[in-house]
A and B are shown apart, each in its own frame.
Chain A
Amino acid sequence: MTKEHANWSPYDNNGGTCVAIAGADYCVIAADTRMSTGYSILTRDYSKICKLADKSFMASSGFQADVKALQKVLSSRHLIYQHQHNKQMSCPAMAQLLSNTLYYKRFFPYYAFNVLGGLDSEGKGCVFTYDAVGSYERVGYSAQGSGATLITPFLDNQLKSPSPLLLPAKDAVTPLSEAEAVDLVKTCFSSATERDIYTGDSVEIIILNANGVRRETEQLRRD
């Protein structure tokens, strides 16, 4: 008895990698800008990062059509929140909203692998990492997407103290400075680009701190 298989899938994987690192008073959120399908590149210049609130940025890899839909739903929900509460949503609140939104489609999931980065109400960096159906956890750093398996062990090694490998983590966030964290992210992406065919072209880095938001771009290998 062979099972009948669909001759069509509603999903596609557009590849790419996302990373976020939380610091004492900053947060770095980064994603490469390559969008691919199968072995082809669709574009070298697509942003996977979305600003959900003043202090919450979401980077998502996976199926970009679902990512776009998810971003729109969250933006609309944030507008409603602002009308009702007269203020922006905090990052932890947005984290819960994202989890609920993902689980809402538990039986036809958003094919999106998300990393939410921002500042909590005390101004400390926070990073939340998700699976496709909304299971989430606050962590000191995270990577998702096609290059995640290459980057995560490297971050475990470099960011020793917030690493959950020594359970519980010694520090909630990395003691590195903002500049060091940005540099580390660039290193992660250049290394991942070497070995992961779906990661490359360029990396978009968002740095969030008490002074506001800063955006940096770094070119990566285009092969």
Chain B
Amino acid sequence: MFRNQYDTDVTTWSPAGRLFQVEYAMEAVKQGSAAIGLRSKTHAVLACVNKANSELSSHQKKIFKVDDHIGVAIAGLTADGRVLSRYMRSECINYGYTYESPLPVGRLVVQLADKAQVCTQRSWKRPYGVGLLVAGLDESGAHLYYNCPSGNYFEYQAFAIGSRSQAAKTYLERKFEKFQESSRDDLIKDALFAIRETLQGEKLTSTVCTIAVVGVGEAFNILDQAAVQALINEFEISGEEVPATESVAEEAAGGASADQGGAAAEEEAAPMDI
């Protein structure tokens, strides 16, 4: 990107008032494979693209259950993401132990943000190279937050991070106004459509993406491949249109057979997303 004399240490300001190391850390997030989140009043959905290093290897786990009511999707350095997920789980367990009630999502993201900030102000540390989409449910409803390496966090109705996330964001920007009142199944369908936007031509199958849901009466869970494939088949049968607002939860009738194995436009593995 920009190589200059102010970017060696995280504790060095540039004359323009920037911390380049922090900005470089945010670049790492952009290089990771896409992760998408959206929420309604009662549910939050996380979706991510599974990219494997090669055909021989398995893909990386990018969605983690933090507690029954909170889950997180990551993009960027997955190792950093794993460590932060472990921290989040630990915080939830300790809070539950002390207060016998679930940790409110807003509190967790603040703790996460403060933890990230520490790494922007110590010369012997480096910022976490991972962006986190935290989806959770608490007394005030469903929430979606984005935590970035800078230590900032924002709440969103819908958001996408990682490579080619702009395509997904464009789709979400068109649709987000109706998310608040969406049903659970419509939310999942919109997540799948958004994921499809990031794939840019590559066939959307359940091997390529992972979906997770949390909501009122539903603990955070990652949908299994068969269920995801059934949902994909549903809307591919009905053509490439926008899904109807009422939920349809029946299984696919055989449907479009997935184009497995064929190496379609092989996406270049991002340097740090391994």
Q: Give min CB distance, B207 to chain A, whole Å.
A: 19
Structural contact, B97 and A83, CB atoms closer than 8 A? no
User: What is the interface of chain A, defined by CB distance below 8 A to chain B?
Assistant: 72, 76, 79-80, 83
Q: In this complex, what residue of A is CB-closest to B92?
A: A79
How many pairs of residues, A versus B, come closer than 8 Å at their CB atoms?
A: 13
**Which of chain B's residues 58-116 have a Cβ closer than 8 Å to chain A?**
65, 86, 89-90, 93-94, 96-97
Structural contact, B96 and A76, CB atoms closer than 8 A? yes
Cα distance, A83 to B93, chains bound together (Å): 11
Structural contact, B97 and A76, CB atoms closer than 8 A? yes
Q: In this complex, what residue of B is CB-closest to A78?
A: B93
Q: In this complex, what residue of B is CB-closest to A86?
A: B65
Structural contact, B96 and A80, CB atoms closer than 8 A? no
Q: Give min CB distance, B96 to chain A, whole Å.
A: 7
Structural contact, B65 and A83, CB atoms closer than 8 A? yes
Q: Give min CB distance, A118 to chain B, whole Å.
A: 22
Which residues of A lie under 8 Å from residue B97 when comparing CB positions?
72, 76
Structural contact, B96 and A83, CB atoms closer than 8 A? no
Q: In this complex, what residue of A is CB-closest to B97?
A: A76
Which residues of A lie under 8 Å from residue B94 when comparing CB positions?
76
Starting from the known contacts A72-B97, A76-B94, 11 additional A-B residue pairs (CB-CB under 8 Å) come to: A76-B93, A76-B96, A76-B97, A79-B89, A79-B93, A80-B89, A80-B90, A80-B93, A83-B65, A83-B86, A83-B89
A contact face: mostly helix, strand, loop, or mixed? helix
Q: Give min CB distance, A27 to chain B, whole Å.
A: 27
Q: Give min CB distance, B193 to chain A, whole Å.
A: 29
Q: In this complex, what residue of A is CB-closest to B67?
A: A79
Count of chain B residues with Cβ under 8 Å from any Cβ of A? 8
Which residues of B lie under 8 Å from residue A83 when comparing CB positions?
65, 86, 89
Cα distance, A79 to B219, chains bound together (Å): 14
Query: Could you mark each residue 104-142 of chain B with 1 if its beta carbon is under 8 Å from any beta carbon of chain A, else 0?
Result: 000000000000000000000000000000000000000
Q: Give min CB distance, A79 to chain B, whole Å.
A: 5
Q: Give min CB distance, B25 to chain A, whole Å.
A: 26
Q: In this complex, what residue of B is CB-closest to A83?
A: B89
Q: In this complex, what residue of B is CB-closest to A82?
A: B65
Cα distance, A79 to B90, chains bound together (Å): 10
Could you show 5 A-B contacts with beta carbons less than 8 Å apart? Answer: A72-B97, A76-B93, A83-B65, A83-B86, A83-B89
Cα distance, A83 to B88, chains bound together (Å): 11
Cα distance, A34 to B93, chains bound together (Å): 31
Q: Give min CB distance, A16 to chain B, whole Å.
A: 23
Q: In this complex, what residue of A is CB-closest to B65?
A: A83
Q: In this complex, what residue of B is CB-closest to A80?
A: B93
Cα distance, A72 to B89, chains bound together (Å): 16
Nearest 9 Cβ contacts at the A-B interface: A76-B93, A83-B89, A76-B97, A79-B93, A72-B97, A80-B93, A83-B65, A80-B89, A76-B96
Which residues of A lie under 8 Å from residue B86 when comparing CB positions?
83
**Which of chain B's residues 210-257 have a Cβ closer than 8 Å to chain A?**
none
Q: Give min CB distance, A51 to chain B, whole Å.
A: 15
Cα distance, A124 to B65, chains bound together (Å): 31
Which residues of B lie under 8 Å from residue A72 when comparing CB positions?
97
Q: Give min CB distance, B62 to chain A, whole Å.
A: 15
Q: Give min CB distance, A86 to chain B, whole Å.
A: 9
Q: In this complex, what residue of A is CB-closest to B89?
A: A83
Cα distance, A72 to B65, chains bound together (Å): 21
Cα distance, A79 to B95, chains bound together (Å): 13
Q: In this complex, what residue of A is CB-closest to B64?
A: A83
Which residues of A lie under 8 Å from residue B89 when comparing CB positions?
79-80, 83
Cα distance, A79 to B94, chains bound together (Å): 11
Q: Give min CB distance, B87 to chain A, whole Å.
A: 12
Q: Give min CB distance, A50 to chain B, whole Å.
A: 14
Q: Give min CB distance, B46 to chain A, whole Å.
A: 17
Chain A CB within 10 A, most for which of B90, B93, B94, B96: B93
Which residues of B lie under 8 Å from residue A79 when comparing CB positions?
89, 93
